[in-house]
Structure 1
Amino acid sequence: MTSRNWVRLFFSTLIVGGLTTGILGFVIRWSEFQEYFIHVNISSILSTFVWLVGVGFIFSVISQVGYFAYLTIHQFGLGIFRSLWNPVQVVLILFALFDLVYFRFEKFAKNNESILPYIALAVFILVVGLIIAYLKAKQSHKNTFISALFFMVVVTIVEWVPVLRVNEKSWIFLMIYPLIICNAYQILILPKYLKRSEAEREQARQRIEARKAEKGKKPRE
């Protein structure tokens, strides 16, 4: 990918993360911000929206760092495990989902609290991951389903760890939706930027060849 398209991908993902957090933040934390709308406090609404967008930018950057880290890990995995890389990824997906349920329940569950909400959260991550992985496999027409599922499940959970350790519900849900949306956006939009980069390289090559041809046609003095 050309540097120009890397920059385009970065800023487009940044905007996606910022706007997603800015909009969903009011819904997720409605109990905190509803007074602004009841009393039509425009300045408070705007300042809160700007703050949420800024937080979304941070979530977006975390998502992008995770994606680039995953691309590196994926190449190492292919080089080390070769044909076994897909089974290894499946095992890691299962471990990540198990840890998401078991360790959170062990650390944060109160007496007689049901484990079902913890399982539901893991199932939600898995279902979303399956949907995005299906779309990715359909888009690329290659064996990318497991890799996309690994990214959407394992990498998303790793990116989510900072707020999972705090276990503040409002922050847990405020962060997970932008992460999922940014991760899904990157994995699905990347082919578009790759094709655009190839087209730009081809145009640059044609311009260079045209200049060489013009120089070759010039009469010798």
Structure 2
Amino acid sequence: MNSRKVVFIFWSTLLIGSISGGTVGILLNLDEYVGGGAANFFVGLIWMLGISAAFTLVSQMGFFAYLFVHRFGLGLSRSHALWNRIQWILIVFVFFDLVYFRYIAFGREDSIWSYFIIPTALFLYALLIAWIKAKETNKGAFVPALFFMFVITTIEWIPALVVNNTNWLYLYLTPILIGNTYQLLLLHRLHKKD
């Protein structure tokens, strides 16, 4: 992979993540931005695009960090099978934490079952993307792709999870999820061009 491709990944991910997050941000607060006139809408749009760009940068840092962690994990375990088992254990652990710790922090009067919705939806989305990645590359890419899409996305999402504001949950998740998906599915396509 040459520097031109790295720059392409960076700028295209930043653009796609910013636009997706900005769109969701405007839609979540449509009354606030549309009700104040054109200047208010324009300032709100710039604000949402800027916030989404920052969240997309978090996604990019997470992606390149995972590429390093994945190679490091393979080197330490010396076996794909062992590294895959470790990743599965971490996936289960993060799923449990995403349910339990949010319930302990925010859901004392709610049912714990309602706190399964977000982790389950994220996990199902991660399964779909991992399946696509494995189909387009090889079966060995499934577990690393699932780990990246679920665990790394959750780690990147922690600042919004701590706040527990529905708008921030979706505003923060959208550029991260779109950015992670785009980077993961783009990487092997750029390698094929070599």
Unaligned runs of 5+ in 2: none
- Distance across 1 between alignment mates of 2:175 and 2:48: 11
- Distance across 1 between alignment mates of 2:182 and 2:173: 14
**Contact 2:52–2:171 (8 Å) recurs in 1:** no
Structure 1 letter corresponding to 2:124: V
Instruction: Give the drift of 1:194.
Output: 2.1
Corresponding residue for 1:70? 66
Corresponding residue for 1:100? 98
Out of 38, 42, 59, the position equivalent to 2:38 is: 42
Corresponding residue for 1:174? 171
Paired residues in the alignment total 192
Unaligned runs of 5+ in 1: 199-221
Superposed, 1:1-150 pairs within 5 Å as 1-36=1-36, 41-81=37-77, 82=79, 83-111=81-109, 113-150=110-147
Q: Deviations over 1:123-175 (max 9, x none)?
A: 01101000000000011034111110000000000000111112222111111
* 2:149 is the counterpart of 1:189: no
Percent identity between matched residues is 40
Corresponding residue for 2:148? 151
Q: Which has the larger radius of gyration?
A: 1
Corresponding residue for 1:212? none
Instruction: Give the drift of 1:30.
Output: 3.3
- Distance across 1 between alignment mates of 2:62 and 2:116: 24
Q: Deviations over 1:160-193 (max 9, x none)?
A: 0111112222111111122111100000011222
Residue range with higher mean Cα deviation, 7-16 or 168-177: 168-177
> Residue 140 of structure 2: SS of its match in structure 1?
coil
Could you tell me the TM-score, scaled by structure 2's length?
Answer: 0.94
Instruction: Give the drift of 1:46.
Output: 1.5
Could you tell me the TM-score, scaled by structure 1's length?
Answer: 0.83
**Contact 2:98–2:119 (8 Å) recurs in 1:** yes
Structure 2 letter corresponding to 1:22: G
- Distance across 2 between alignment mates of 1:31 and 1:123: 30
Instruction: Give the drift of 1:31.
Output: 4.8
Residue range with higher mean Cα deviation, 78-87 or 182-191: 78-87
- Distance across 1 between alignment mates of 2:86 and 2:32: 43
Structure 2 letter corresponding to 1:160: W
Q: Deviations over 1:95-114 (max 9, x none)?
A: 00100000010011142x12
Corresponding residue for 1:163? 160
Q: Which has the higher contact order (CA 8 A, sep 6+)?
A: 2
- Distance across 2 between alignment mates of 1:178 and 1:25: 10
- Distance across 2 between alignment mates of 1:71 and 1:191: 13
